[in-house]
Structure 1
Amino acid sequence: MFKKPLGGLKTSAPLRGSDRRRLKQRVIEAFGISSEDGDLLVPDGIQSVKFSTHLEEPGVAYLAPDGDPLWFTVGKGSDELVPTVYTLWKRRDILPALWTPAAVIPILIGGADLMIPGVVHHSPALKENQLISVLQYNYSRENPTVSAPLAVGRMALPSEQLDRGRQEKGKAVLVLHTWKDHLWDLGSKRDAPEALPISKPQDEPSILAGGDEKATACGEVLEPSATEAMANLKLDGGEDLAAPRPSYSPQEINTLLHTSLVQAIASSIPASAFPIPATIFYTNYILPSRPAFPSLLVPHSGPAPADLSPCPSVAEITVKASGHKSLTAFLKGEEKASLLTLKSPPKHAQQPDLLVTSVNINHPSVAGHHQYATIKDVEATAAKKAMREEKKREAEAGTGEVKVTELWKPHQVTVSLFERMGGNTTYHYSLAEIKALLNSYIATNSLVNPRVQAYINLDEALINCITSKSKGKAKGKDAAQEQVPIEFMKREELIKAVVERMQNWYEVSDGKDTVRKKGEIRPIQVVMKVRQGRKVSTMISGFEPFLVVGAEDMAEDLRKVCAGATSVSPVPGKPANSGMEVLIQGKQSVAVIDYLTSKGIPKKWIEVVDLSGKK
Structure 2
Amino acid sequence: MVVWKRAEVSASNPVRSSDVRKLRQELQTQHGDWIRDEDVEALLPASKSTNFTLAKVSSPKATVYLVDGEPILFQLSKSDALLPTVYALWRVPHWPCLETIGEVSKFLLSGADLMGPGVFRDGSVDEWEEHQVRAVRVRGNRYPFAVGHTACSSRSLRSTEKGKALVVEHLVGDALWELGSRALPNDGFRLGEAILPAEEEEEQEEERAPVGDGDAPMVAAAAAAVAPDAAADGDGDEAMEALAESLPSKIDLTEATPPSSDMSPDELLLHCFLQALTTHPEVPLPIDASKFYMECVVPARPPGTTLDVKATSYKKLGGFLKAMAKRKLIKIKDQRGVILLAEVDRSHELLRSFQPSRQSAANATTAAARDNGNGTAANAIRVQEWLKPRAAQQALFQQAPDMERIAEAPAGMYTAEEVAHVVEQHVRQQGLGGGQSGVVRLDEVLRESVRRSGGTPPDELSWAELKRAVTDAMEVHHCIGEGGRLHRGRAEPVRIIVEDRQGGRKHVTRIQRVSAYGIDDQAFATDAQRKFAAAATVAEIPGSAKKGGTAATEVVIQGAFAEEMHEFLCREYGVPRKWCDVSDKRKKRVK
**TM-score, with structure 2 as normaliser:** 0.35
TM-score by length of 1: 0.33
